[in-house]
A = this chain, B = another copy of it.
Amino acid sequence: MSRKLVYFDITGYSEPIRYMLHYGGLKFDDVRYNMQEWPIKEIKDSLPYGQLPIYEEDGRVLNQSIAIARYVASQTGLLPTDPWEQAKLDAAVLNIYDLIKKLATFFYAQDPEEKEKLKKQVLEDVDYYYSRFEKELHAGGGYFGGKLSWADFILVNTTELLNLQLNQTVNTEYPAITALISEIYANPGVKEYLANKQSSAPVS
């Protein structure tokens, strides 16, 4: 089966998808456009809704990062079968995305004073959400859904994103989240990906 994930040469919305594909040992073509060169008109116009990421499997195309992540989870043992358990994980992922969206204004702010003010607000948002995520992980024996699932991957990569953007470690006071990061980093497929990450040149 041929698989292709097309995104930018950043982590962003695609990194949990990449992690899960590596976790599951599913070979895929990791195509990355240079964000500085975007939009590339002929590529953008060819996308179903003008946006990346897209995922292709044997020529079939899927857009929307959440839809792709959930599908890949279904192929890598990271999605339970019970509808209520699935729904609880959907909610967890969407709650995490709500927090990511709150990062956008900070990310695009240019004025240093304004950016510092917005950073404080984001850190308050992180506290609000992360204290709740931590509680959910405790209730689930270290995972959102009682065992490792796609929602856990989304949280780990979101933490990477926040730490990078805010230039500080937001998970320090959340032991369950920190343990989850260590567990996912220790997976052989993810470990190999991370080891190769720095040496791989972006495809642009």
Contact = CB atoms under 8 A, between A and B. Distances in A.
In the complex, the count of this chain's copies comes to 2
Interface stretch (A19-27, A35-43, A89-97, A177-185): A89-97
Contacts of A48: 95, 132
Which of the listed residues A48, A62, A84, A91 has the most CB atoms from chain B within 10 Å of its own CB?
A91
A117 interface: no
Interface of A: 48-50, 57, 60, 62-64, 66-68, 70-71, 74-75, 83-84, 86-88, 90-91, 94-95, 98, 128-129, 132
B75 A87 contact: no
Contacts of A71: 83-84, 86-87, 90
A51 to B, nearest CB: 8
A43 B74 CA distance: 36
